[in-house]
Amino acid sequence: MARILITGAGGYIGTTLVEMALAKGYDVIALDRFFFGEDLLEEFAANPQFSTIKKDIRDIRADDLTGVDVVVDLAALSNDPSGELDPDLTTSINHRGRVHVADISREAGISRYILASSCSVYGFGETSELTEESPTNPLTEYARSTFDAERAVIAMGDKTFCVSALRNATVYGLSKRMRFDLVVNTMTRNAIDSGEITVAGGGHQWRPLVHVRDVARAILNIAAQPAEKVNQQVFNIGSENQQIRCLA
């Protein structure tokens, strides 16, 4: 079975993807700085198909990728507020760090590289429907660095190096590492903790949404496609668009 290396494997999407990739029979290498703790993946420690590398993506070297068939690049400072805290750091991880991972992957002869991009590259949508051809308008440090990384890695794709980027909608659902800064999860927690959901500004804004397990499924699906179908392509990954007021 193929071997998959997942950066950001200790995160919200990553911990779910690790579990689902192992269940599909992949050998999984989980690479992360583990900001949120290594114990989240502890239950897989005894699995011979699972290993971890504790490392910053900016320090990845070709020998970390020995025997790897697919690299899934999830590691990032993953939301707008943390992206604004230190714009240089955000660029260094979310843009240059990911380009470095793609560069090293290509150098190491890996045939597949999949980037977790974001629907935030479209800006704040005024309409409910956006396609991959819709104009982009990244408005925050997080969105700009994501978009810069996406453009750079897509351009690296060629006959031997298949590159795809998934523009994920706002994710929701349970994971080993929970994120309660994401709208559905925030509302759910508030409803349980205080019995109230607060909607600011009328709640007319649209949000594309997707369940965390569907994101993992999409990644594994794209990894299994023939290269010529997915190379140098971006894919919107979302299951529905909702106005915040309807969501509440």
Q: In whole angstroms, how close is the CB of 116 to ligand NAD at the nearest point?
A: 4
Residues numbered 124 to 163 that lie near ligand NAD (CB under 6 A) are none
User: What is d(CA 160, CA 208) in angstroms, rounded to the nearest whole number?
Assistant: 33
Interacting residue with ligand NAD among 4, 18, 143, 182 (CB under 6 A): 182
Site size toward ligand NAD (CB under 6 A) is 29
Window 58-77: residues binding ligand NAD (CB under 6 A): 58, 74-77
Q: Cβ of residue 110: shortest distance to ligand NAD, in angstroms?
A: 18
Query: What crossing angle do the helices spanning 12-23 and 212-223 adopt, rounded to 10°?
Result: 50
| Part in contact with ligand NAD (CB under 6 A); list of ranges 11-19, 102-110, 153-161, 222-230 | 11-19
In the chain, the amino acid numbered 7 is T
Tell me the three state secondary structure of residue 68.
coil
- The residue among 81, 82, 75, 15 whose CA lies nearest residue 50 is 15
Q: How far is CA 89 from CA 4, 36, 104, 141, in A?
A: 27, 18, 20, 10
Minimum distance from CB of 120 to ligand NAD (Å)? 7
Q: Outline where 46-182 has alpha helix (H).
A: 80-85, 87-90, 98-107, 141-156
Other CB atoms within 10 Å distance of the CB of residue 69:
16
Using the rule CB under 6 A, is 97 a contact of ligand NAD?
yes
Q: Tell me the window of 26-34, 122-130, 220-228, 238-246 that interacts with ligand NAD (CB under 6 A).
A: 26-34
CB of 23 to ligand NAD, least distance (A): 18
| Alpha carbon separation from 218 to 57, 75, 221 (Å, rounded) | 23, 17, 5
Which run of H or of E encompasses 223?
helix 212-223
Point out the residue whose Cβ comes nearest to ligand NAD.
11
Stretch that binds ligand NAD, among 3-11, 43-51, 128-136, 220-228 (CB under 6 A): 3-11
Site string for ligand NAD, 210-229 (x = CB under 6 A): --------------------
Q: Based on the number of CB atoms within 10 Å of its own CB, is 202 exposed (0-12), middle (13-18) or buried (19 or more)?
A: exposed
Residue placing its CB nearer to ligand NAD in the complex, 119 or 230: 119
Question: Residue 211 pairs with which residues in a beta bridge?
Answer: 172
- CB 92, min distance to ligand NAD, A: 8
Residue 30 found at the interface with ligand NAD (CB under 6 A) = no
The contact set with ligand NAD (CB under 6 A) reads 8, 10-14, 32-36, 56-58, 74-78, 93, 97, 116, 118, 168, 170-171, 177, 179, 182
